[in-house]
Amino acid sequence: MKLRRLFVGRLIILIGLVSALNGYAIYRLYNWGLDDSSEFYLWKDAQQASTYYESTGRLPASDSFRQYFIDAKALPSRYTQALPKTRWTTGEVVTVEIGQEFLYIMPFDLARGHGPAFVVHRFLPEDDAGHTGPSLTMVGLILLLLSLPIVGAVAIEMFRSVAGPIERLTAWAKTLSSQPTATPRKVPALPIEELDVLAAQLQGAMDELALTHQREQYFLQALSHELRTPLAVTGATLDLIDRKGGDTLAPWRNQLDRIRRAHGDMRAMTEALLWLWRDRGDDLPLVPVPMLPLVEGAWRDVRSRAPEREFNLQLDIAADLTIRSIPVLLQITMHNLLRNALEHGAPGIVRISADAGSFHISNVIGMDEPSDSGVPGFGVGLHLVERIASRMGWKVKVAKTDDLFHVHVIRADDGNQDMATRLRST
């Protein structure tokens, strides 16, 4: 059922119930007011008639509305024929309907030793407008009090009709794990069509995420297999060259050392990246990493890719600064930040500062960088940095001040110095 149809149906039920109740209440209130006021005026007329009889010996004159009769025998035959009883109790009001006339008849004591006399109020259809009853305020208040329980009951039922499916949807959504491999519970049956569609869309999104994750895992497994073989061949070849080359390789020793370092870095990066994208597994060991040599080595590597561009590195790193981390992940992070600074930034000074809890890099904004992009100046490589930070429990903050881009990587609780202070200090 659509949500709109549900609300419309409940509103129709509410309007129907309230209208029926109010109609019945108005009818009852009308008759109650009519009966109550007629009895009051009958008593009043009876008292006046008794007083008048004591002083004059006769009853007051009758008119078209108010009639007096000395005893039951004096009642008109059409009255007595319509009366349901012939025994009378003083003060008891009897109502009689004769044709279009409506009679209120009340016996009353006229004098000691005298039988009951009668006062009759005679109502015709045209007299309805003059009937006395409860005030309009009282009628409205009574109708309001009568309507409130129905309105409340329908409102509660409407709330439960919507809240129940929403609660079931919420409970089911809580079973959706952030891990794509987790199997969610079956989608609950929901009576509201919109919620049912939403649940189906959530289920479809989770299924698509699981498929994407599965494809990614297959790709990583294939990548791991394909990369390890050529890396092993390269390593074995380097070892063979070292054993067989002898002194003839002396002129090429520096180049071979660079190849060997690149080969080692590539193996370490492959293992680290595979670990980074695995859902679970043993953590890589943390080891002390000298920060200054790592930054300088990363700068030499990325600077060699664009030697013609005028970039200068400005460091604020203590020579003895050492942090415990996974070396290859820290190396990947620094390489990506520096490479993006050179590729997406304008020529100028690249500043890097670091301490035991964090490190910060800033570069000049490139003139061709769009100002409305999400994190201009750092390119796709920032995604890898954020992935590493997420897995390592770090925090990455990106900011733009004047003509500079800033990336601040917090390795630990660095609450003593916020990012704004660091940006001003640079």
What's the CATH number where 301 sits? Answer: 3.30.565.10
Q: Are residues 218 and 251 in the same domain?
A: yes
- Picking from 219, 244, 277, the residue at the C-terminal end of a domain is 277
- Picking from 89, 105, 137, the residue at the C-terminal end of a domain is 137
Tokens 């045209």 sit on residue: 126
Range of the domain at 353: 287-425
State residue 282's pLDDT score: 55
148 domain residue, yes or no? no
222 domain residue, yes or no? yes
State residue 190's pLDDT score: 75
State residue 320's pLDDT score: 93
Q: Are residues 64 and 102 in the same domain?
A: yes
Annotate 150-168 with b (16+ C-beta within 10 A) or e (fewer).
Answer: beeebeeebeebbeebeeb
State residue 416's pLDDT score: 38
- Picking from 234, 258, 277, the residue at the C-terminal end of a domain is 277
Task: Determine the 3-state secondary structure of 368 from DSSP.
Answer: coil
Q: What are phi and psi of 365, to 5 degrees?
A: -70, 135
Write out the two tokens for 137: 């305020």
Q: Are residues 364 and 382 in the same domain?
A: yes
Q: Are residues 234 and 297 in the same domain?
A: no
State residue 426's pLDDT score: 38
236 domain residue, yes or no? yes
What's the CATH number where 34 sits? Answer: 3.30.450
pTM: 0.47
Q: Are residues 244 and 296 in the same domain?
A: no
Alpha-carbon distance of 92 to 106, in angstroms, equals: 6
Task: Give DSSP secondary structure letters for 206-264.
Answer: HHHHHHHHHHHHHHHHHHHHHHHHHHHHHHHHHHHHHHHHGGGGGGGHHHHHHHHHHHH
Q: Are residues 127 and 229 in the same domain?
A: no
State residue 374's pLDDT score: 46
Alpha-carbon distance of 197 to 391, in angstroms, equals: 34
Q: Are residues 242 and 300 in the same domain?
A: no
Q: Are residues 273 and 323 in the same domain?
A: no
Q: Are residues 233 and 313 in the same domain?
A: no
187 domain residue, yes or no? no
Return averaged pLDDT per consecutive 10 residues of the chain, 426 residues in all.
Answer: 68 77 66 63 89 90 91 88 78 86 88 84 68 61 75 77 80 70 67 80 81 77 73 83 75 79 76 67 78 90 77 92 88 86 85 90 73 47 79 86 85 45 36
Nearest to 33 by CA among 124, 136, 166: 136
Q: Are residues 309 and 369 in the same domain?
A: yes
164 domain residue, yes or no? no
68 domain residue, yes or no? yes
183 domain residue, yes or no? no
Q: Are residues 271 and 355 in the same domain?
A: no
Tokens 């005030």 sit on residue: 135
Query: Domain tally for the chain?
Result: 3
State residue 178's pLDDT score: 56
State residue 185's pLDDT score: 66
Burial of residue 112, with CB atoms counted within 10 A of its CB: 0-12 exposed, 13-18 middle, 19 or more buried: exposed
CA end-to-end distance (rounded Å), the chain: 61
Q: Are residues 345 and 264 in the same domain?
A: no
270 domain residue, yes or no? yes
